[in-house]
Amino acid sequence: MFSISKLSLLLTAAAASVAALPSAVVSPHITAPHAVDVWPAGSVQTVSWDTTDVPAGAVADIFLGHFEDGSESEHLDLANPLATDVDLTLGSTQVTVPSVTPMESYIVALVGSSGNISPEFSITA
């Protein structure tokens, strides 16, 4: 059983942890890839975004997704991130393009302290 002082310490620690989290989700505009880009599987490519409104400490994971059959679903490959814990204040990171089915409707998504997707682009074999 907790005493009042121990409970107070736990609540104070929990409040400090919550205060350390970014206060808002940011949605930086993704500047690369572009709609006309073609990424060969296995190549190293740059994903970049606008850092104008990105606060210090904002991080994200980068996922590959795609649109198909007119669906609005982004079909993100959450099991295989392209990059994890990316510091969004840096404005870009390099990723290795996975071997996937070639098509023209791929996107990258920033997910974490942020949320945004790129225009559709192509990946080739």
Residue 90 placed within a domain: yes
Residue 8 placed within a domain: no
Residue 58 placed within a domain: yes
At 11 the pLDDT is 35
Answer for the pair 112, 61: CB distance below 8 angstroms, yes or no. yes
At 122 the pLDDT is 94
Residue 4 placed within a domain: no
Residue 76 placed within a domain: yes
Residue 13 placed within a domain: no
Residue 54 placed within a domain: yes
β-partners of residue 49 are 30
* Ramachandran quadrant class, 85 (left: phi over 0; alpha: psi -120 to 50; beta: rest): left
Peptide bond into 33 cis (omega under 30): yes
Residue 33: give the domain boundaries. 22-124
Domains: count for the chain = 1
At 75 the pLDDT is 92
At 14 the pLDDT is 39
Residue 11 placed within a domain: no
Residue 18's contacts (CB-CB under 8 Å, 6 or more residues apart) are none
What are the pLDDT tens digits along the chain (125 aa)?
434 443 333 334 434 433 444 446 788 999 999 999 999 999 999 999 999 999 999 999 999 999 987 778 899 999 999 999 999 999 999 999 999 999 999 999 999 876 788 999 999 98
Q: In CATH, what number is assigned to the domain containing residue 63?
A: 2.60.40.3720
